[in-house]
A and B are shown apart, each in its own frame.
Chain A
Amino acid sequence: MSEPLFDYLLRLGDERLVLGHRLSEWCGHGPILEEDIALANIALDLIGQANLLLGLAGEVEGKGRDADALAYLRDAREFRNHPLAELPNGDYAFTMVRLFLLSAHAYCVLDGLRSSSHQELAGIAAKAFKETTYHVRHSAEWLVRFGDGSEESRRRVGTALEEAWRWTGTLFLADVVDQELQARGLAPDPAAAAPAWRALVDAVLERATLPPPSAAPLSGRGYRRGDHTEHLGHLLAEMQVLARTHPGAEW
């Protein structure tokens, strides 16, 4: 087994890199100029967080790989992001539902991670926590407006919620890596953040006048070994093509 902290940082970093890339796909295609800028801002926040986390992961690994090498020169099976982050954007309702569920998850995890005994990780968590607070606020306000909006917006957000909800079953999965980090005081118990996440989600769904999702969550934990949906490979092909076509290029 490799260093557990390396694995843990990859999980955090990859999730932000992949979700940030997905959001960046909206750039120039947003439904209105103001939303286009809002999503690009959030995408840049996430990619900035990924840069810090993968940079630290490279240092922990100690094999000379920097954030760019980890982002651009790994294949899909080496990525450790949660599959919800890699699903295609779908319509704006799905984009916002997915962003809300993952931002709320990040918010609850980062809250505890700010107290990590690893000073640099605690610092990154504190910075990311502030950014994530806004991501939750922005996406939550859209959920409320879709749910409590027109017949069509309500139908679309309901469909998006059922679809995204199936993937939330493994958000708080704790495995040997989490247990090891918790034992060393580096990261909180993932399960401890679950009640706060559910309370946050329920409060927003209530404001949105949306019923709790009924879809049974999937339990597959294969993504921790590198099993992903077919969508991640396509995403990486586009994200990595420049770096792989011109190895070592700087600009």
Chain B
Amino acid sequence: MSGPDAPADDAEAGESEWPLWEVFTQPGAGRPHEHAGSLHAPDAELALQNARDVYTRRGEAVSIWVVRSDAIVASSPSEAGPFFEPGNDKAYRHPQFYKVPRGVRSV
């Protein structure tokens, strides 16, 4: 199985290889869907079924999203400097001057 850095490429992988799908699972109602991993499947319905079998066997999810890996537009690792570093020295953008009330979770 190819890693997350290798986007699905049907032509490159050959016609017998199924396309790659990214799987997102929601651990509970109101929680965000999180990336769980990837898998191969011939189409959307079987991608959903395979995701159910591979990533939710132990009751990890209440909802699943699948999306073709080649539909994801990703930032380039080589541009990580100009892309992300300008945010690092601006402390005022972090809400660290507030106290989180007790009992608030998932923040």
Q: Which residues of A contact B (CB under 8 A)?
A: 32-35, 37-38, 41, 134, 137-138, 141, 145
Contacts and interface: CB of A to CB of B under 8 A. Distances in A.
B46 to A, nearest CB: 6
Contact of A41 (B40, B43, B45, B57): B57
Interface in B48-65: 49-50, 52-54, 57
Contact of B54 (A37, A134, A141): A37
A33 B39 CA distance: 9
Contacts of A38: 49-50, 53
Q: Which of A34, A35, A41, A134 has the largest count of B CB atoms less than 10 A from its CB?
A: A34
B53 A41 contact: yes
Contact of A138 (B1, B39, B49): B49
B57 A34 contact: no
14 contacts: A32-B18, A32-B40, A33-B39, A33-B40, A34-B40, A34-B41, A34-B53, A34-B54, A35-B50, A38-B50, A38-B53, A41-B53, A134-B52, A141-B49
B42 interface: yes
Interface of B: 1, 18, 39-43, 45-46, 49-50, 52-54, 57
Contacts of B46: 141, 145
Closest 5 CB pairs of A and B: A34-B50, A38-B53, A37-B53, A41-B53, A34-B39
A100 B27 CA distance: 31
Contacts of A137: 49
Contacts of B40: 32-34
Contacts of B39: 33-34
Contacts of B42: 145
Contacts of B18: 32
Contacts of B45: 141
A38 B46 CA distance: 11
A45 to B, nearest CB: 11
A35 B39 CA distance: 11
Nearest to B43: A145
Contacts of B41: 34
A16 B43 CA distance: 30
B53 A33 contact: no
A41 B49 CA distance: 12
B10 to A, nearest CB: 16
B79 to A, nearest CB: 33
Contacts of A141: 45-46, 49
Contacts of B53: 34, 37-38, 41
A11 B15 CA distance: 44
